[in-house]
Amino acid sequence: MATRTAIPFLVGMMLLTGVCNTLLTKYQDNQCVRDCENENPNKRKAFEQPVLQTAQMFVGEMGCWLVVGLLALRTRFFSNKSPSARGYEAVDTHDRGDSDPMAEDVEGSYKGKSVLRGARVTLLALPAICDICGTTLMNAGLLLVAASIYQMTRGALVLFVGLFSVVFLKRHLHLFQWLSLVGVVLGVAVVGLSGAIWPDEQKIPQDGKFSDDAEVGGLSDTAAAVIGVLLIAGAQIFTATQFVLEEWILEHSNIEPLRVVGWEGIFGFSVTMLVMFVLHMAVGRTDAGRYGYFDAVEGWRQMTTNPKIGYTSLLIMVSIGGFNYFGLAVTRTVSATSRSTIDTCRTLFIWIVSLGLGWEKFKWLQIVGFALLVYSTFLYNGIVQPPLKCLQTDEEIEELLPEDPIERTH
């Protein structure tokens, strides 16, 4: 476990890699790949390959095996055989000492009972498939909206995780938590409304400069914003299902969360490549000069012939692996609730950078929606007290995410 002095570094790197990933993905979407010299901005073709972007995410997750290998080498050759170096330790959010007998009970409770023994590790393909669906929908939505609206709309995850936790994991939610879920819905609605009323013009570069009146997929800016928000919000259903599956798996096995990320990267990449092949053969092949979301050959050509897209893909893979590693380190050092709170701050930095780069314009209504989202998320996690005395409780609040959340950044 990392020392307390390392916490600021871990938190800072988690924010940095998370912010970079979203901004790099949006930057990649903004790159012109065809007819870039056309004076009509609506005729220029931007990089639109959400499935290929999902595949590169899984490549980044597979990079977690490098971290697992390095940690194993460190433990073997440089460890003093201290208790913390013996392997995975369950996350402890109550700050108990190393000698606490409850820690020993947690380590021993899984002996002979792991659901991931042997070939059953393939169960991790289930959350990987949910990740494929959710990530692809979010990547498609990011093509149509600004990076900050994308990140804010992802706040709808709180709603679906809360509902699925009650239905499938038999969790109990207090009244103020149900009200906070309503607040999340309202916050997402306000963010989506701000994008529909004052849409940011889609920007496709020409000669290194951005055009302010380009359309994506023939849609108007308002229609693109509405469809983008709906795609991103709907994708949270798959992400919430992924979280619930991962929580159940981690509760019934002693596998390290970092290995879970690595295995899901392998399964997710394999399934994504198979799906890409099928979709390319069925609907994605080039036809009459049109290049769709599922044209894998054209997408690969764009990625390999456009240096900006290629370099950005490599950086996205690194940022995904880094975000997973630093996020899990924060969870283990502090708590899952702290991680979800810190990750919420990522939206603020993305919004500030997007404004500075001129990718979007300042909207007061967007600030209102973001504030409502943040407050509702903090309220759900018990970080802030309910405003009314009758809603307050003395019971310990269950965390929104699993104790070892395998959250992805998209």
Q: According to the model, what pLDDT value does residue 3 have?
A: 60
Q: Which residue has the tokens 């819905």?
A: 185
Mean of pLDDT over the chain: 77
Give the least confident one: 49-58, 80-89, 386-395: 80-89
| Per-residue pLDDT at 158 exceeds 70 | yes
Percent helix, strand and coil across the chain, each to the nearest 5 = 65, 5, 30
Q: Are strands 45-46 and 32-34 parallel, antiparallel or unpaired?
A: antiparallel
| Per-residue pLDDT at 20 exceeds 90 | yes
Q: What's the mean pLDDT in 261-281?
A: 91
What span, in angstroms and rounded, lies between the C-alpha atoms of 321 and 114?
26
Q: CA angle, 152 as apex, 147 and 155 as ends, to 5°?
A: 140
Inter-axis angle of helices 64-77 and 307-333, nearest 10:
50
Give the least confident one: 159-168, 292-301, 336-345: 336-345
Q: According to the model, what pLDDT value does residue 331 have?
A: 64
DSSP string, 257-268: HHHHHHHHHHHH
Helix or strand run (H / E) with residue 206 = strand 205-206
pTM above 0.85, yes or no: no
In angstroms, the first-to-last Cα distance of the chain is: 27
Token readout for 96 is: 């108990």
Helix or strand run (H / E) with residue 302 = helix 296-305
Q: Identify which of 64-78, 99-113, 197-211, 308-322 has the greatest average pLDDT.
A: 308-322
For residue 325, count other CB atoms closer than 10 A to its CB. 22
